Amino acid sequence: MLFDQGLPGFNPGLLLALGAVMAGSTVAMLIKGLLKHDSSDQIAAWLFVSHIVLGMVPAFLVWIAPTWKETLLMVALGYLGTVIQRTFNRSMAIANATVVLPFNFTRLVWAALFGFLFFAEVPDIWTWIGGTVIFLASIWLARISTANNQNV
Protein backbone atom coordinates (compact mmCIF):
# COMPACT_ATOMS: atom_id res chain seq x y z
CA MET A 1 0.00 0.00 0.00
CA LEU A 2 1.10 3.55 -0.71
CA PHE A 3 0.51 4.72 2.85
CA ASP A 4 2.61 1.93 4.32
CA GLN A 5 5.75 2.66 2.26
CA GLY A 6 7.29 5.93 3.21
CA LEU A 7 4.90 8.76 3.73
CA PRO A 8 5.72 9.45 7.37
CA GLY A 9 3.33 11.79 9.08
CA PHE A 10 0.74 11.57 6.30
CA ASN A 11 -2.78 11.13 7.58
CA PRO A 12 -5.40 10.01 5.03
CA GLY A 13 -7.88 12.10 7.01
CA LEU A 14 -6.17 15.16 5.54
CA LEU A 15 -7.68 14.20 2.20
CA LEU A 16 -11.13 14.40 3.80
CA ALA A 17 -10.30 17.86 5.15
CA LEU A 18 -9.12 18.95 1.70
CA GLY A 19 -12.32 17.58 0.17
CA ALA A 20 -14.40 19.47 2.73
CA VAL A 21 -12.61 22.73 1.90
CA MET A 22 -13.15 22.16 -1.81
CA ALA A 23 -16.83 21.33 -1.27
CA GLY A 24 -17.32 24.40 0.92
CA SER A 25 -15.67 26.63 -1.67
CA THR A 26 -17.84 25.16 -4.41
CA VAL A 27 -21.01 25.75 -2.37
CA ALA A 28 -19.97 29.36 -1.67
CA MET A 29 -19.44 29.99 -5.40
CA LEU A 30 -22.75 28.34 -6.25
CA ILE A 31 -24.55 30.47 -3.66
CA LYS A 32 -23.00 33.66 -5.06
CA GLY A 33 -24.12 32.68 -8.57
CA LEU A 34 -27.62 31.64 -7.51
CA LEU A 35 -28.17 34.94 -5.71
CA LYS A 36 -28.43 36.63 -9.11
CA HIS A 37 -31.76 34.86 -9.69
CA ASP A 38 -33.03 33.52 -6.33
CA SER A 39 -33.51 34.93 -2.85
CA SER A 40 -31.19 33.98 -0.03
CA ASP A 41 -34.05 32.19 1.74
CA GLN A 42 -34.85 30.09 -1.37
CA ILE A 43 -31.22 29.05 -1.63
CA ALA A 44 -31.15 28.09 2.06
CA ALA A 45 -34.33 26.04 1.62
CA TRP A 46 -32.91 24.15 -1.37
CA LEU A 47 -29.66 23.56 0.49
CA PHE A 48 -31.56 22.00 3.39
CA VAL A 49 -33.65 19.85 1.03
CA SER A 50 -30.49 18.57 -0.67
CA HIS A 51 -28.87 17.82 2.71
CA ILE A 52 -31.93 15.93 3.87
CA VAL A 53 -32.06 13.84 0.68
CA LEU A 54 -28.32 13.10 0.75
CA GLY A 55 -28.36 12.35 4.47
CA MET A 56 -31.27 9.92 4.33
CA VAL A 57 -29.24 7.02 2.91
CA PRO A 58 -26.56 6.86 5.62
CA ALA A 59 -29.13 7.72 8.30
CA PHE A 60 -31.35 4.86 7.16
CA LEU A 61 -28.44 2.43 7.46
CA VAL A 62 -27.59 3.28 11.07
CA TRP A 63 -30.76 4.89 12.44
CA ILE A 64 -31.39 4.70 16.18
CA ALA A 65 -34.41 6.51 17.61
CA PRO A 66 -33.22 9.60 19.51
CA THR A 67 -34.18 10.35 23.08
CA TRP A 68 -36.24 13.45 23.89
CA LYS A 69 -33.10 15.27 24.97
CA GLU A 70 -31.34 14.37 21.72
CA THR A 71 -34.40 15.45 19.75
CA LEU A 72 -34.39 18.86 21.47
CA LEU A 73 -30.67 19.24 20.76
CA MET A 74 -31.27 18.39 17.09
CA VAL A 75 -34.09 20.94 16.89
CA ALA A 76 -31.80 23.58 18.43
CA LEU A 77 -29.00 22.70 16.00
CA GLY A 78 -31.46 22.83 13.10
CA TYR A 79 -32.65 26.27 14.15
CA LEU A 80 -29.11 27.60 14.58
CA GLY A 81 -28.07 26.06 11.27
CA THR A 82 -30.97 27.80 9.56
CA VAL A 83 -30.04 31.15 11.09
CA ILE A 84 -26.40 30.72 10.13
CA GLN A 85 -27.17 29.69 6.54
CA ARG A 86 -29.67 32.52 5.99
CA THR A 87 -27.28 35.14 7.36
CA PHE A 88 -24.41 33.73 5.26
CA ASN A 89 -26.55 33.84 2.11
CA ARG A 90 -27.66 37.39 2.84
CA SER A 91 -24.10 38.51 3.46
CA MET A 92 -23.05 36.95 0.14
CA ALA A 93 -25.88 38.88 -1.55
CA ILE A 94 -24.72 42.28 -0.29
CA ALA A 95 -20.94 41.92 -0.14
CA ASN A 96 -18.09 40.61 -2.21
CA ALA A 97 -17.17 36.98 -1.48
CA THR A 98 -13.58 38.03 -0.72
CA VAL A 99 -14.96 39.96 2.26
CA VAL A 100 -17.56 37.44 3.43
CA LEU A 101 -15.57 34.20 3.28
CA PRO A 102 -12.76 35.16 5.67
CA PHE A 103 -15.40 35.99 8.28
CA ASN A 104 -17.09 32.68 7.54
CA PHE A 105 -13.81 30.89 8.25
CA THR A 106 -13.63 32.47 11.69
CA ARG A 107 -15.82 29.52 12.69
CA LEU A 108 -12.52 27.65 13.02
CA VAL A 109 -11.50 30.06 15.76
CA TRP A 110 -14.86 29.59 17.48
CA ALA A 111 -14.54 25.82 17.20
CA ALA A 112 -11.13 25.97 18.89
CA LEU A 113 -12.52 28.22 21.64
CA PHE A 114 -15.56 26.03 22.29
CA GLY A 115 -13.38 22.91 22.18
CA PHE A 116 -11.24 24.46 24.90
CA LEU A 117 -14.18 25.65 27.02
CA PHE A 118 -16.42 22.60 26.77
CA PHE A 119 -14.04 19.69 26.07
CA ALA A 120 -10.75 20.85 27.66
CA GLU A 121 -8.97 20.60 24.29
CA VAL A 122 -5.91 22.81 24.33
CA PRO A 123 -5.28 24.37 20.91
CA ASP A 124 -1.76 23.92 19.58
CA ILE A 125 0.42 26.74 18.26
CA TRP A 126 -0.80 26.22 14.66
CA THR A 127 -4.40 26.78 15.73
CA TRP A 128 -3.41 30.10 17.30
CA ILE A 129 -1.34 31.12 14.26
CA GLY A 130 -4.12 30.14 11.85
CA GLY A 131 -6.76 31.92 13.90
CA THR A 132 -4.65 35.05 14.01
CA VAL A 133 -4.12 34.98 10.23
CA ILE A 134 -7.86 34.52 9.64
CA PHE A 135 -8.73 37.35 12.03
CA LEU A 136 -6.21 39.79 10.55
CA ALA A 137 -7.20 38.90 6.97
CA SER A 138 -10.86 39.47 7.82
CA ILE A 139 -10.17 42.91 9.26
CA TRP A 140 -7.86 43.85 6.38
CA LEU A 141 -10.37 42.78 3.70
CA ALA A 142 -13.20 44.59 5.46
CA ARG A 143 -11.12 47.79 5.54
CA ILE A 144 -10.19 47.46 1.85
CA SER A 145 -13.83 46.86 0.91
CA THR A 146 -14.97 49.87 2.94
CA ALA A 147 -12.30 52.07 1.33
CA ASN A 148 -13.25 50.88 -2.17
CA ASN A 149 -16.95 51.55 -1.54
CA GLN A 150 -16.20 55.08 -0.36
CA ASN A 151 -14.21 55.80 -3.54
CA VAL A 152 -17.07 54.75 -5.82
Domain positions in the chain? 11-151
Digit-coded pLDDT (tens) for 35-77: 889 988 899 898 889 889 999 999 999 999 999 999 999 999 9
> pLDDT category, 95, cuts 50, 70, 90?
confident
Give the residue-averaged pLDDT of 12-35: 82
What is the average per-residue pLDDT within 89-108?
80
For residue 92, CA distances in Å to 26, 88, 97, 100 come to 14, 6, 6, 6
Which helix (H) or strand (E) segment is 11 a member of? none
The average confidence (pLDDT) of the chain is 82
Would the CA dihedral through 40, 113, 130, 14 be positive or negative? negative
Among the listed residues 148, 147, 35, the one whose alpha carbon sits nearest the alpha carbon of residue 88: 35
Amino acid identity, position 22: M
Instruction: Report pTM.
Output: 0.66
Position with higher pLDDT, 103 vs 152:
103
Are the CB atoms for 108 and 131 separated by under 8 Å?
A: yes
Burial class of residue 67 in the structure, from the number of CB atoms within 10 Å of its CB (0-12 exposed, 13-18 middle, 19+ buried): exposed
